[in-house]
Amino acid sequence: MEFCNCIEPPWPADELLMKYQYISDFIIALAYFAIPLELMYLIKKYAVFPYRWVLVRFGAVIALCGAIHLIDLWRFSLHTRNVALVMTAAKILTAVVSWATAVMLLM
């Protein structure tokens, strides 16, 4: 076996990765909630915007994606059936709204 003169990290690498994922999910959720607010500002500012429904649906998709990242934060500390049900419901709702938006854009 080879000798390794390595310096041990202050915590295990897996724990470090989990912390980075947790922080990343929080920052992503904040960004996803900021985008619909900006879209609402555009809708209010330009009252005669011809495709308001596109911005509204797009904002809903983005907000639901942000909700999934917040639920992922909750999931980091709890692993229960309730968390799985909430996460599944949020993902199904996101999928439905995303596909509805994609289909409506074609029309």
Domain that holds residue 72: 30-106
| Residue 74 covered by a domain | yes
| Residue 66 covered by a domain | yes
| Residue 11 covered by a domain | no
Domain total of the chain: 1
**Residue 10: pLDDT band with limits 50, 70, 90:** low
pLDDT at residue 27, rounded to an integer:
84
pLDDT at residue 14, rounded to an integer:
64
- 8: three-class secondary structure by DSSP: coil
CA distances from 40 to 16, 37, 52 (A): 37, 5, 10
pLDDT at residue 69, rounded to an integer:
83
pLDDT at residue 93, rounded to an integer:
85
Measured distance CA(93)–CA(86) in Å, rounded: 11
**Residues 32-90 pLDDT 10s:** 888 888 888 888 888 787 778 888 888 888 998 888 888 888 766 655 677 667 777 87
pLDDT at residue 17, rounded to an integer:
66
Q: Looking at per-residue confidence, does 61 or 101 come out higher?
A: 61
| Residue 92 covered by a domain | yes
